[in-house]
Amino acid sequence: MSAAGGTLDGATPHRRGDGELVGWILPDGERWRALDLLGREVVADAEWLDAEDAIERRGLAYLADPWVLEREGAVPLRVRLLEVTPERIVVKAEDFGDVSRPTERVTLPWPLPAALRAPRPDDPDAYAL
């Protein structure tokens, strides 16, 4: 029932007005909680309409953002999300728009694993990663 366990049992998919899936709403005791497409909690212990509002405000823009993949024994790898489903997250090494350049692809478990994170201000320059 929780994203931490990687399942969405009892979850209701939530779609924007244009039909695009933006997350799920799950029971949270007598109230509700909302998860985004990466399985991150957006709001907990909320009324249904507040959960809908929170997940719609989160939106989908974060899917286009750069991410950093921490790898054991290697430098962090700057990546972009290619596929996000409740089964897996697929990322590719940053290609800076050069689609002709072959890049490394990595399949990760869903929900968002700790090894995949947003860039931090103290990260090296993106071209160095």
How far apart are the C-alpha atoms of 73 and 15, rounded to whole Å? 40
Say what the pLDDT of residue 27 is. 96
What does DSSP assign to residue 20? -
In the structure, what pLDDT confidence band is assigned to residue 106 with cuts at 50, 70 and 90?
very high
pTM of the full predicted structure? Answer: 0.87
Length of the chain: 129
In the structure, what pLDDT confidence band is assigned to residue 97 with cuts at 50, 70 and 90?
confident
Q: What is the pLDDT of residues 22-55, one digit of tens each?
A: 999 999 999 999 999 999 999 999 999 999 999 9
- β partners of residue 79: 67, 93
Give yes or no for a contact between 95 and 66, defined as CB atoms under 8 angstroms apart. no
Give yes or no for a contact between 119 and 67, defined as CB atoms under 8 angstroms apart. yes
**To the nearest whole number, what is the mean pLDDT of the chain?**
90
In the structure, what pLDDT confidence band is assigned to residue 2 with cuts at 50, 70 and 90?
very low
